[in-house]
Amino acid sequence: MTDRATVLYIPHGGGPLPLMGDSGHADLNRFLRDFPTSIDKPDAIVVISAHWEETDIAITASANPPLLYDYFGFPPETYAYQYPAAGHPQLAERVHRLLHSAGIESRLDTQRGFDHGLFVPLLLMYPEADIPCIQVSLSASLDAGLHVRIGKALAALKSDNLLVLGSGFSFHNMQALMSKRDDSIDPRNQAFEDWLAQTLSASALPEVEREQRLVNWQAAPHAAYCHPRSEHLLPLHLCYGIGQGVARKVFQQPVARFIASAYQW
């Protein structure tokens, strides 16, 4: 298999804050705006968003999906953002077939639109909205091993000129995010990020051990503090399953007074 696709897990920030000029998201915004210059322009984008969970894996299959403003309490202008990227029904069908071949239940969804896990980062990365997109849900089971398996089922996508974007947040304790008032580094956040970076980037780590560490991520330092619920971490597991190996690049930057990581395969 010739790898043409770029597989990237990113933090997508807090709701629409990256688009609002929030100072806590400045480094993340810079990273997202600059990243497309490091790769060839993709023919299509596949987004696994932390904000969509289904019993069976669902894939957007409309030719023109609407936007879902799935955040609350923000200024009126944040509910008027537009990202008129086309859908890609043919790619959605291919994803559906790959999952079916792997024995993973999935369905095509012609009604659901793109949530902010897609349109917030892509408004920064590809503001022209001229690349067709599909979105893939998480499993509502939030089973880490299953999400690695889903990624492995989609590994054939690496042969296409795609950007596969796992859109989540490597630190997602909302109470801590909202209450922190100083710029000191939270040692629990740092310890988990260091564990995650070492797990994904250590070339000497046997692959079976790397996968087991991710499947058993709750055993990582301060895992429950960093992720009281796992939905923002699991897009990473899916990206790892597609990449099936050591991450080629690790990016760490402060986001809203916490450290968050991005990983590229």
Cα angle vertex 54, ends 173, 6, to 5°?
Answer: 70
Is 12 a residue whose pLDDT tops 70? Answer: yes
pLDDT digits (tens, 9 = 90+) for 40-82: 999 999 999 999 999 999 999 999 999 999 999 999 999 999 9
- Cα separation, 160 vs 6, in Å, equals 9
Chain segment 92-143, per-residue pLDDT in tens: 999 999 999 999 999 999 999 999 999 999 999 999 999 999 999 999 999 9
pLDDT of residue 42: 98
Mean pLDDT of the residues in the chain: 96
pLDDT tier, 155 (very low <50, low <70, confident <90, very high otherwise) = very high
pLDDT surpassing 80 at residue 1? no
Alpha carbon separation from 197 to 108, 193, 200 (Å, rounded)? 34, 6, 5
Helices marked H in 64-143: 89-101, 116-125
Query: Which fold, 6-264?
Result: Protocatechuate 4,5-dioxygenase; Chain B (3.40.830)
Higher pLDDT, 174 or 241: 241
Both structure tokens of 34: 């600059």
Amino acid 251: pLDDT? 96
Q: Is the pLDDT at 185 greater than 90, yes or no?
A: no
Average pLDDT over residues 198-224: 98
Domain segments of the chain: what residues?
Answer: 6-264
What is the pairing mode between strands 249-255 and 258-264? antiparallel
Higher pLDDT, 177 or 95: 95
Pick left, alpha or beta for residue 222 (phi over 0 → left; psi -120 to 50 → alpha; otherwise beta).
Answer: left
Residue 180: its pLDDT value, please? 79
Percent helix, strand and coil across the chain, each to the nearest 5 = 40, 20, 40
| Token representation of residue 102 | 């792997």
Q: CA-CA distance, 13 to 150, in Å (whole number)?
A: 24
Distance of CA 195 to the CA centre of its chain: 19
- pLDDT of 181 strictly over 90: no
**Sheet strands side by side (includes 249-255):** 106-109, 57-60, 133-139, 44-54, 162-168, 6-11, 258-264, 249-255
What confidence score (pLDDT) does residue 173 get?
A: 95
pTM across the whole model: 0.96
